[in-house]
């Protein structure tokens, strides 16, 4: 259903620093995705991901990758909330704010270096 389609979209995202996917690194797992119906044909998708290390500066980047790929690929109308699993990162509140703030996400994607990294992470391997 909708849960598995959301999971299928994010499980193949690659880690910005490693050749592995987020699923292989257990950054995202089946239990980290929730889908709730919030209106007629509209769903709230909540992702809670676990950065590989507690002070990982890449956490923001991974959050961006999750958001960009889901926005592009989810086949239904949705609102998206992306959080770091509680207690797994030293600045989780800041990062949660950043990856759920449309303007900050848009600004990040205007940075050509960042955008290139995100594109590399979200593009399906051939």
pLDDT at 3: 93
List of domains in the chain: 1-120 (3.30.300.130)
Residue 95 in tokens: 């990062």
Residue 125: beta bridge partners? none
CA distance 29 to 23: 6
Residue 21: beta bridge partners? 14
pLDDT surpasses 90 at 24:
yes
The C-alpha torsion from 79 through 80 and 85 to 88, rounded to 10°, is: -140
Q: pLDDT digit string (tens) for 53-101?
A: 877 778 999 999 999 999 999 999 999 999 999 988 889 999 999 999 9
The mean pLDDT value for 42-54 works out to: 92
Give the predicted TM-score (pTM) of the model. 0.94
pLDDT at 126: 67
* Average per-residue pLDDT for the chain: 93
């Amino acid at each position: 259903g909708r849960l598995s389609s959301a999971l299928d979209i994010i499980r193949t995202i690659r880690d910005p620093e490693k050749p592995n996917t987020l699923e292989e690194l257990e950054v995202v797992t089946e239990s980290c995705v929730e889908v709730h119906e919030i209106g007629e044909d509209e769903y709230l998708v909540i992702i809670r991901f676990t950065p590989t290390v507690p002070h990982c500066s890449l956490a923001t980047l991974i959050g961006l990758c999750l958001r960009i790929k889901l926005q592009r690929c989810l086949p239904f109308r949705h609102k998206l909330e992306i959080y770091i699993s509680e207690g797994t990162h030293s600045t989780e509140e800041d990062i949660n704010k950043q990856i759920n703030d449309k303007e900050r996400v848009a600004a990040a994607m205007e940075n050509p270096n960042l955008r290139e990294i995100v594109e590399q992470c979200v593009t399906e391997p051939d």
